[in-house]
Amino acid sequence: MSVDGQVQAEIIDAVQQAIVVLDRDDRVTGWNRFAESLYGWSRVEAVGRRLRELVRSDAIEGNLHPTGVESDQPVTTQLLIHRRDGSAFIASVTSSPIGDGRPDQGGRVVVARDLTAEHAVEEQRRHAHKMEAVGRLAGGVAHDFNNVLTAIFGYADLVLDSFDLTDPRRVDIEEIKRAANRAAALTRQLLAFSRKQVMQPRRVNLNEIITSLETLLLKLIGQEIVLDIETATALWDVKADPGQIEQVLMNLASNARDAMPDGGTVTIATANEDLAPDDAAALVGIEPGRFVRLTVNDTGAGIPPPIRAHIFEPFFTTKEQGKGTGLGLATVYGIVKQSGGWVYLDETPDVPGASFRIFLPRIE
């Protein structure tokens, strides 16, 4: 069955890849609808002009064909392409000669596929694998450090028992024990991050936990910050350790407070969410299903893009020395994962401040 020119043009326009046809002088003779949206030039503007005048591309280091795609054989490579408005994206570009197979006589067809979404998913997957490895390392270090602390506590108690109650040296030994207790608190946070902390999960409702914690959260964030609580009606139950969920809320609220030294708003919201396959595909690692979503937003300065990939890593902090251990978000990550859930930083550019979304599986 033959396909007439009109139908063929409609088929090419329906393809969700940029298709550009060039003559032997590199001038555009064909420019499909997706090329208009991808590059920012209309078909009328593009036809008759040279492709390099419309679209600038840079080679990506490490590609098999880093110097462009003009060849007497079909060539596929990855290029950093700059749109008309100056924005850039990574694309898989295939250039195929047409006519008699020689680009200097017959021209060529250049097909480009935007890889932005694939690269974002792959980056999230690599980050998830890295967090798993860091978690295993942190758990091993915490267990070894706990063994050392056990010896410190034991010998400190033996020394205390050897002193009279009025002996002034007891003060020094008590200070040793207080320092060891602070170190023990750090190891508990590391164990939470590595998902090796002992949990006592039970059926809980997040609304009840948030309501019971409201007074303490108000004291934590201070008078300059408004606490806005938005709890969903008929919220589903989840299985989690209530004490650890409280720790998650306290850590996120504390981070939000530090991000708003001049005041602002912290919003804590709950919702039932039925994630369809398409919705789950946009969140790396999560499976489709029914979840309770806990969201904590602030109106602070937000998290700069260069450090977003590191925020859940233990001991990573942007605070001044002595003002943070770098374990707050790492602890949140560990508790959520140990509870069978997922935590994400909302990286939408238009959203002010920082927004964390936590998904916990619903108990049927």
Q: What is the pLDDT of residues 293-339, one digit of tens each?
A: 999 999 988 887 777 777 777 655 655 544 455 567 877 888 888 88
SS3 of residue 48 by DSSP = coil
CATH 3.20.20.300 fits 199-364, yes or no: no
CATH number for domain 115-197, candidates 3.90.800.10, 3.40.50.300, 3.40.50.720, 1.10.287.130: 1.10.287.130
Q: What integer pLDDT is reported at residue 133 of this predicted model?
A: 66
Q: What integer pLDDT is reported at residue 322 of this predicted model?
A: 45
251 close to 329: Cβ distance less than 8 angstroms: yes
Burial class (CB in 10 A: 0-12, 13-18, 19+), 206: buried
Pairing of strands 18-22, 28-31: antiparallel
The span from the CA of 267 to the CA of 59, in Å, is 44
Q: What integer pLDDT is reported at residue 103 of this predicted model?
A: 47
What is the CATH class of 5-114? alpha beta
Q: What integer pLDDT is reported at residue 78 of this predicted model?
A: 80
DSSP 127-147: HHHHHHHHHHHHHHHHHHHHH
Q: Low-confidence residues of the chain, pLDDT below 70? A: 1-5, 59-72, 99-106, 119-125, 127-143, 185-199, 314-327, 347-351
Query: Any idea where the domains of the chain sit in the sequence?
Result: 5-114, 115-197, 199-364
User: Which tokens belong to 56?
Assistant: 């600038």
What is the number of other CB atoms lying within 10 angstroms of the CB of residue 306?
A: 7
Q: What integer pLDDT is reported at residue 1 of this predicted model?
A: 42
The span from the CA of 256 to the CA of 85, in Å, is 35
Per-residue model confidence as pLDDT tens digits over 129-178? 666 666 666 666 666 777 777 888 788 888 888 888 888 888 888 888 87
Pairing of strands 28-31, 342-345: unpaired
Q: E strands, 6-151, where? A: 18-22, 28-31, 56-59, 75-82, 88-97, 108-114
Buried b (16+ CB within 10 A) or exposed e, 24-46: eebbbebbbbbbbebbbbeeeeb
Q: CA dist 141 to 18, 188, 199, 245, Å?
A: 51, 11, 19, 24
